[in-house]
């Protein structure tokens, strides 16, 4: 980010399932995040944002006068697709950041260029980077070898006593689903979309279930112990 000729070009590898939406919002809000706009109202900022001629944001929120080379579909899929409703949902998401500061998700990539949590960084470095390049990437640890998803599901069923058909069923409210999804993402090398396909739900449900599970595990010692027991007893090579 910066002026056209300010420093060298920087690129980031992004964990799309968890950070793409946040990164897109932060980037699209950049044109109005300047000192002279500090006194403007949210409505004034919104108009300035939508009228800024050098941004792709208008392409995402309206159909007319689009640039043919802007690829919108992948991002808008997370908001319901390139439809009137999907574009409106995305606009509300982006413009919710006009009323206050939002954290810079790009800061997560500082030093190594990978935007994601620890397990994602480990997975990428283990799968794609050489030993030499791993040594040059700070704050990156080597990931365990990916575990077969069937083995992970079997471990969850064994430890919780909850069959897969039960925790994958609509309306299930127990912890087994979130536990399985977190382990499949962390140790199985699956994306959230792949986990959704495996468990019969959409990727957004996977994201919510994983976040709820992590929150519960942080607060519940028994759940934290269960997670550790499965990782140590079933998934460790």
Banded model confidence at residue 121, pLDDT cuts 50, 70, 90? low
Mean pLDDT score of the chain, rounded to an integer?
A: 78
Model-level pTM? 0.48
Query: With 50 as the cut, is the pLDDT of residue 136 above it?
Result: no
Query: Which whole-number Å values give the CA distances from 201 to 74, 180, 194, 207, 208, in the listed order?
Result: 19, 13, 10, 11, 11
Q: Which residue, of 105, 135, 170, is where some domain finishes?
A: 105
Specify whether 17 is located in the same domain as 95: yes
1 touches 30 (CB < 8 A): yes
Beta-carbon-side half-sphere exposure of residue 41 (alpha carbons within 13 Å): 2
37 touches 45 (CB < 8 A): yes
Beta 114-115 vs 13-14: how paired, if at all? parallel
Specify whether 80 is located in the same domain as 49: yes
CA–CA distance, 221 with 94 (Å, rounded to integer): 37
Q: What is the pLDDT of residues 64-111, one digit of tens each?
A: 878 888 888 888 888 888 889 989 999 998 888 887 677 777 666 655
Specify whether 165 is located in the same domain as 193: yes
Number of structural domains (the chain) is 3
- Cβ contacts of 107 within 8 Å, gap of 6 or more: none
Banded model confidence at residue 178, pLDDT cuts 50, 70, 90? very high
Could you tell me if residue 68 is inside a domain? Answer: yes
Could you tell me if residue 7 is inside a domain? Answer: no
Q: Which domain holds residue 124?
A: 111-143
Could you tell me if residue 5 is inside a domain? Answer: no
Specify whether 214 is located in the same domain as 130: no
Could you tell me if residue 6 is inside a domain? Answer: no
Could you tell me if residue 187 is inside a domain? Answer: yes
- Cβ contacts of 6 within 8 Å, gap of 6 or more: none
Query: With 80 as the cut, is the pLDDT of residue 150 above it?
Result: yes
Q: What is the pLDDT of residues 9-52, one digit of tens each?
A: 456 667 656 677 888 888 898 888 888 887 888 888 888 888 88
132 or 79, which is more confident: 79
Could you tell me if residue 3 is inside a domain? Answer: no
144 or 88, which is more confident: 88
Here the CATH number for the domain that contains residue 172 is 1.10.1750.10
Could you tell me if residue 177 is inside a domain? Answer: yes
pLDDT at 198: 83
- Cβ contacts of 164 within 8 Å, gap of 6 or more: 153, 156, 157, 180, 199
Q: Which residue, of 49, 78, 105, is where some domain finishes?
A: 105
Specify whether 139 is located in the same domain as 158: no
Q: What is the pLDDT of residues 182-218, one digit of tens each?
A: 999 888 878 888 888 888 888 788 888 888 898 998 8
pLDDT at 130: 54
When mean pLDDT is compared across 13-22, 56-65, 109-118, the lowest value belongs to: 109-118
């Amino acid at each position: 980010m910066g002026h056209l000729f300010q420093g060298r070009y920087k690129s980031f590898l992004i964990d799309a399932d968890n950070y793409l939406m946040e990164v897109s919002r932060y980037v699209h809000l950049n044109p109005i995040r300047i000192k002279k706009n500090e006194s403007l109202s949210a409505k004034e900022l919104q108009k300035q944002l939508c009228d800024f001629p050098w941004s792709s944001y208008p392409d995402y929120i309206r159909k007319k006068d689009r640039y043919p080379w802007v690829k919108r579909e992948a991002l808008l899929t997370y908001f319901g697709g390139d439809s009137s409703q999907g574009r409106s949902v995305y606009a509300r998401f982006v413009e919710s950041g006009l009323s206050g500061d939002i954290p810079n998700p790009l800061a997560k990539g500082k030093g190594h260029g990978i935007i994601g949590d620890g397990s994602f960084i480990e997975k990428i470095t283990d799968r794609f980077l050489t030993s030499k390049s791993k040594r040059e990437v700070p704050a990156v640890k080597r990931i365990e070898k990916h575990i077969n998803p069937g083995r992970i599901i079997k471990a969850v069923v064994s430890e919780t006593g909850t069959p897969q058909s039960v925790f994958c069923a609509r309306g299930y409210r127990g912890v087994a689903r979130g536990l399985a999804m977190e382990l499949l993402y962390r140790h199985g090398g699956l994306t959230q979309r792949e986990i959704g396909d495996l468990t019969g739900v959409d990727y957004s449900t996977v994201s919510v279930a994983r976040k709820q599970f992590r929150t519960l595990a942080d607060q519940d010692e028994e759940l934290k112990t269960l997670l550790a027991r499965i990782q140590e007893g079933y998934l460790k090579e």
